[in-house]
A and B are shown apart, each in its own frame.
Chain A
Amino acid sequence: MYDQIDQKDLSFVGHDVPRIDAIEKLTGEAAYVSDMILPGMLHAAVKRSPHARARIVRIDTSKAMALPGVRSIVIGDELDYRIGLYVVDKYILAREEVRHYGEAVAAVAADTLIIAKEAVRLIEVEYEPLPAVLAPLDAINIDDPAKPGKAPLVHPKLGEYDHVRNAFTPQPGTNVANYTKFRKGDIDKGFAEADWIVERQYTNPSVQHVPMETHVAIVQWQAGDRITIWTSAQSPYAVRNLFCHSFKIPHKNVRVIIPYIGGGFGGKAGIGIEPLVACLSRKAGGRPVKLQATREEEFSLLPCRSALTYRIKTGVRKDGKIVAQKMTMYWDSGAYADYAVNVTRASGYSCTGPYEIPNAWVDAYTIYTNKPYGTAYRGFGHVEFSWGLERQMDLAARTIGMDPLEFRRLNTLKPGSVTLTGERITEHTGNVTKCIEEAARGIHYGKLTKEEAARQKKTGWKIGKSVAGLQKAPAMPPFTGTAIFLKMNEDGTATANVSLTDMGQGTYTSLAQMLAERLRMPVENIKIAFECDTDRDPYDWQTVASKGLLIAGNAAILAADDLLANAYDMAGQILRALPCDLDHDGKGVFVRHNHEKKISFAEMAAGYAYPDGNGIGGPLVGVGRYIAQGLTNLDKATGQGNPALDWTYGAHGLVAEINEETGEYNILKVCSVFDVGKAINPAEVRGQAVGGMIQGLGTACCEGYIYDAEGRLLNPSFTDNKIFTAMDLPEVIESAVVETAQLDGPFGARGVGEHSMIGVCAALGNAILQVTGAELTHMPIRFEDVWRALQTKQSPDAWIVKSPVKHL
């Protein structure tokens, strides 16, 4: 979809066009599901487990049912439906056993939310607490994860569950929900060739997405199994498909409507509370029921980002070339597999980072534990492994006595390099070396500026700098597709229907710009209809993976071209000209060699009518269909294949000042650079770059789930689980892009929504390390963690397992 067009020849693409949804959001008029009230609507509340693992002995709902105003109560025993994206392992409500703290065991719909909550309080649940397994390494047989271990099984019936067989490999009889492996080159030969080998373990906790609008759904289950779902979700067709799969109801009977969404970040990617709300509505005689998660429920009833424990072993030659790397990742899925199995797979094929490693070996496990379950989260595993990988790059560089930036430049993927899965990089893939160099330039890497030197002298806080590289491809099925309907309105404006959602990332504005460019009409004349509706809008797989801009962008171009072809066809008849002699501007179609001969889009919008009333053509519409090209499933034995729609490369440069006595630090500057192919809307790209960076720094500095020894979540609130506020911003934030055109990207563009989170965590850790020697291996980096690391001042020698130097 790429035509090489100079920016000076582009009227709308590449410009800072205002968001098309700005006005309704600024006035408070944009209606989110949380704002909706339907006639006869009931309000729901959920009874949740206080235990990480327990047998449900008895549930008594009689007192709750007797409360005036209660209209329906459901418990797990009556709901024999399992749901699941990739491994169908979850009941709508816990049956027989609860598997995590906060899991839903019963739910109530009542006339008011106050009554529903009182009814929930009156439901009596008797539990028999069972031993819970909380740490992924305890949950498996660490010597052979394919064999049973000592831990209780979170899912004893794992072998009976349906799962997506061409991508995932659950290990029945164990707590391994999925095992993915990648093999490239000859790992033993690689390590033999290495002069130095370093090996270290890294950890990340679970974190919460924190969309400002918590999960909310309204469902009405009417007679004849006709169901309407209004939900704050990212992917209308995924909700419908998974819902129908669970309830065995025809897709045509289920209508999913998604209006404005108050943030998603992956937490609303799949299906959530919709099936439960549906069951409450069915039992309440078809009245619509609304359930909105409380903020506390957002932390434990709904999913989080998976925790990760991983070991990296890296073999390096004296000259700085990485020759071998072995990585073992243990993803803590929590009680259900959800997206975590695919996070494992996608981060697996990417976990060598933007570096060429000729001999690589990756074992990645998704492990069930008795904790709230993991799902997609902006970055889809890459923030997590990037933390350790980029810390490891610094460790390896320092071990051999090379500057970490130089070490990275030497090892980056370049044209001709081969990725972990065997894909050959070309000059069009993107330029990570340039991203790294520009990030370094942005922070004046390797020296202190005059101001910085003065500041360091004055405060006594040491100023450290670092650069981390990053990359990510969309994690999606190889055949991911979308369609767009484009309709010419009677006044010559145009409206497009899509099922990709815009939850704030701004894709709709970019689509409008591309349509405007193709139709040659102002962006103001184009509407992308907010409120997705599966009854009216064409298919889109999911709004995830930073693939929306590329796939839907191409579909938008094809829809515009299809509409134009129909317009030219009609205009050719009206103007008595060959379509090849026609051209168009924003108003209509004209004959290229005689501009006086023209017909407007407005006159053709409903089909053209001659003065005598004869009509031709029919309403002017266009359909754009696009599907990812040339991608493959991965070989299960080796991980080889072509999974990547595109690789967006980038780098984060970070400057921090650290108080060596107390462990406190400030982030002075962050500079991000991404190779976006083409910035369709630079101001929006910047919004993604900064927003993701701050979200990433939140997870780097302060966010994370904390459990007690019994698996109860201790910090499900903003008081105890802080996110970044305006007062926490780095003093200077800079954003830049490289534009190496993606040859199958719309106007050369590739996605960047998730990438802005990825590199900042490791960049912070490495900047602190650079000037203090504090070796941090766990995220988040709290001041007390820095202080502790400074007390121990562990020598990097501790992680060296092979050295050409004799005394080691």
Chain B
Amino acid sequence: MKITLTVNDQVYTRECAPSKNLLHFLREDIGLTGTKEGCGAGECGACTVIMDGKAVNACLVLAAEANGAQIRTVEGEAKDGILSPLQQKFMEHHAVQCGFCTPGMLMSLRELLERNAKPGEHEIKQAIEGNFCRCTGYQQIIEAVLDLTGQLEHKGELRHV
């Protein structure tokens, strides 16, 4: 079947097997490999993309279901080679380690920030609850978002004692 969707403001039309999921369509048919596969079962959130304004696990959406949809992926986050403010805060706060969960994490947070410009700590945690990160322990990610939204009271630090 033929499907057409808009990814990061670019229109793509491709032949696609009805059984193909959106994740594999993005990675294999369009070549956008920023979105990762961590489990293929909707449990880890590594494949999170924004579909028509909502964060979804791309492994649980058929590409055919996304026909006509507006998709945003990590590749759309930086503009003209400049990191978005969210990405910059991730860098400043060391919110990245292995980087494999990072694209999905950014998309969950992007969706959150678009519906809530000043999310509290609990709302940030809820937004990324479905995004597993085995490296960071989440703390520096949460601080990055609090800082971005002007809510970080104390910069997290390593105390020297």
| A interface list, Cβ under 8 A from B | 16, 18-19, 21-32, 34-35, 37, 209-214, 260-263, 265, 294-295, 434, 438, 503-506, 673, 679, 682-687, 689-695, 717-719, 723-727, 729, 733-739
Contacts and interface: CB of A to CB of B under 8 A. Distances in A.
B43 interface: yes
B64 interface: no
A695 B99 CA distance: 16
A691 B97 contact: yes
B161 A505 contact: no
B57 interface: no
Contacts of B92: 18
Nearest to A260: B99
Q: Which 8 A-B pairs have the closest CB atoms?
A: A28-B34, A25-B99, A504-B98, A262-B100, A694-B137, A504-B97, A718-B43, A28-B74
B102 interface: yes
B158 A727 contact: no
Interface in B130-146: 130-142
B98 A261 contact: yes
A213 B136 contact: no
Contacts of A718: 39, 41, 43-44, 132
Given A22-B91, A726-B138, A727-B129, A28 B159 contact: no
B9 interface: no
A438 B161 contact: yes
B43 A262 contact: no
B100 A263 contact: yes
Interface of B: 27-28, 32-41, 43-44, 46, 73-75, 77-78, 83, 87, 90-94, 96-103, 106, 124-126, 128-142, 156-161
Nearest to A681: B94
Nearest to A295: B39
A295 B139 CA distance: 25
Contacts of B161: 434, 438, 673, 736-738
B94 A729 contact: no
Contacts of B142: 726
A503 B98 contact: yes
A16 B92 CA distance: 9
A263 B98 contact: yes
A213 B38 contact: yes
Contacts of B160: 679, 682, 736-737, 739
A682 B157 contact: yes
A211 B44 CA distance: 11
Nearest to B142: A726
B137 A295 contact: no
Given A34-B36, A718-B43, A729-B125, A693 B158 contact: no
A526 to B, nearest CB: 17
Given A504-B98, A506-B97, A29 B134 contact: no
A30 B98 CA distance: 10
Q: Name which of B97, B101, B102 has the most chain A CB atoms within 10 A of its CB.
A: B97
A551 B142 CA distance: 33
B36 A25 contact: no
A769 to B, nearest CB: 25
Nearest to A30: B99
B134 A212 contact: yes
Nearest to A723: B132
B43 A28 contact: no
Contacts of B138: 694, 725-726, 729
B74 A27 contact: yes
B98 A736 contact: no
A695 B132 CA distance: 11
Contacts of A294: 40
Nearest to B128: A726
A679 B158 CA distance: 9
Contacts of B94: 16, 18-19, 506, 683-684, 686-687
B158 A504 contact: no
Given A28-B35, A28-B75, A725 B98 contact: no
Contacts of A724: 137
B55 to A, nearest CB: 14
Contact of B157 (A504, A505, A686, A693): A686
Contacts of A260: 98-99
A212 B132 contact: yes
